[in-house]
Chains A and B, each alone.
Chain A
């Protein structure tokens, strides 16, 4: 099931060896062209996501889920959804972040519309709703087969490097 994308991922991030448990068994979803490098060690450790750029310039992200992602009730753990949200809303916020600055999460609101099931492919096209000199507001609606299961909105603080 391993694709060529696997060889493009870095082995280390910020001087730390990246742990990728059995990532080679995750296939690139249909319609996607790129595996996220996931330079954050916790993301590289806990999931693999993919992206494509759409004709209008927006970016859609996809997260394949499997048995490593469930909770004690047997459905997708809210923590995975919130972590994926922090990741993709972060990419979105960073795209609006001025040069020579960085942004950090100040607040995230997460709503769980229905349970995600093991095996679901979760897709999102996050947007920047407002950007000021010091703050960036982002949100995303997370879909399974076109139906929303989860939504998140976050506020990012722009800081100097």
Chain B
């Protein structure tokens, strides 16, 4: 089975008077159904790597392929298309749109993709949010929810277009332990039950320990653990 995401010598250097190397020479392959934890000290390039994998940032060297498709040379529009259909993001902060209800937030990626009709989108958003225990909060606004609830909405949104790959940047970083466990359990269930691939940047050693694979970064380089 070919890797879902594959990198060869992936490098990102910030151009400056004194160039700053964020990540360097990352070569790895991640297959479907893996739960990968990226760990490492602060400033080791964990998040930078995740943004590169998520096509939010462009590498300055090396290659990256998602679902066997080389990313280099793709237009901005094509990269956005991959983010829309193939990738789901969960950030440390929920990053929900404050003016929209919980349900609308989940439906925005679906509407952008435009594969489903209004009724089908409604059904799917209800289903996703109910599965995450948010059935009673569909029409609330993000600021009426607790931190854990918001983060679960963000997870639901990342699943909106049923992407095979979820990228999480410190998904539990701003949550208490009870909510952390809950969010982790959800991500874990996605991998086990629905065959998703999750790549999570984390400080949380407990979470990292439970992952199926750990990637340790030091100074922007791989230090496989």
Are A and B co-members of a single complex? no
A residues apposed to B, CB below 8 Å: none
